[in-house]
Amino acid sequence: MRIEDELAEERELLSGENGSLKERAQVGNKKRKREVRSKLILLNSAIALIVIMSVLIFKVVSMNRDNGNRVRSASTTESDKSIQKKAKGEKKDGGAEATSTPLPTAVPASGKDRWLRKDLDKNKPMVALTFDDGPYTPVTDKILSVLKKHDQRATFFWVCNRIPRYKSSVKQAYEQGCQIASHTFEHVILTKLKKKKGILAQIDKANREVNKVIGCDTTALRPPGGVVNGKVKKTVKVPMICWNVDSEDWKSRNTKKILQRCKSVSDGDIILMHDLYPTTAKAVEKLVPQLKKKGFQMVTIDELFYYKGIDLKPGKVYFSGK
């Protein structure tokens, strides 16, 4: 029975004029019971409150203790670390210096040294792929990517008035260690120039363009048409490099025919191609892995003559490294 109902019943009993003594006693008992119940409820509430407070206090205290431990353990770890560091430092001081000093990084070759590697195997067959008349980025870059993929080098005899237009390919070739060589400034047949001054102008202007991009002069010249005379020989101050294998890529513009022309390549050969034709790039894509499989190292002109022990002389014409 709810307290409200009991009270209502009590009021009813007390208000009754005819309420007997028994009834009054009943009311008294109920009143006492109610008081006891109320006290019990209060006591329970107080106990519950104490329990909740205790739990809260315990939690706060334990959290603080944890934090304290964490801080303490962290500081311990730090100090441990510093001790360990100190110990290591002592070991280092007493041990090898190499562990504390960074290893020296290899300085990449610059200028013309870039296209003359000194760590090749001279006993392995070598062949020099050479490309004339470029640069022409759509084809030159394809050839460069094939060379890069197979870690091989080539020499580019460029018509140097084209360099400003295709500068990115020139930089890329240089980065890859390919040899940048001259095919004059405007592809002039040097024997047609009557004055020495005219020949020199073609060579100097070409070098100026190369120098602007890679910071050094060329070390080889391929005379356009492969034509030279006494005057040209006397005037030119670098070796003149011709070829002994003609791919005739400009004539056939046919990948199969280009590959056919290069089928019997042998040690010391210089192959003539042109980085102007997409068919040439396609042929190179097949030729490079084929030659590699046969054990050839594809080298630059400077490398070929260096390893074949041939001392290149200014103004002299060379056809192969044999």
Binding site for Zn ion (CB under 5 A): 132-133, 224
Nearer to Zn ion, 184 or 297 (CB): 184
Nearer to Zn ion, 157 or 306 (CB): 157
Minimum separation from the CB atom of position 164 to Zn ion (A): 19
Minimum separation from the CB atom of position 205 to Zn ion (A): 16
Nearer to Zn ion, 275 or 303 (CB): 275
Q: Which residue is nearest to Zn ion (CB)?
A: 132
Nearer to Zn ion, 187 or 231 (CB): 187
Minimum separation from the CB atom of position 96 to Zn ion (A): 57
3-class SS letters over the chain: CCHHHHHHHHHHHHHCCCCCHHHHHHHHHHHHHHHHHHHHHHHHHHHHHHHHHHHHHHHHHHHHHHHHHHHHHHHHHHHHHHHHHHHHHHHHHHCCHHHCCCCCCCCCCCHHHHHCCCCCCCCCCEEEEEEECCCCHHHHHHHHHHHHHCCCCCEEEECHHHCCCCHHHHHHHHHCCCEEEECCCCCCCHHHCCCHHHHHHHHHHHHHHHHHHHCCCCCCECCHHHCCCHHHHHHCCCCEECCCEECCHHHHCCHHHHHHHCCCCCCCEEEEEECCCHHHHHHHHHHHHHHHHCCCEECCHHHHHHHCCCCCCCCCEECCCC
Nearer to Zn ion, 133 or 303 (CB): 133
Minimum separation from the CB atom of position 226 to Zn ion (A): 9
Residues involved in catalysis: 132, 274
Minimum separation from the CB atom of position 195 to Zn ion (A): 22
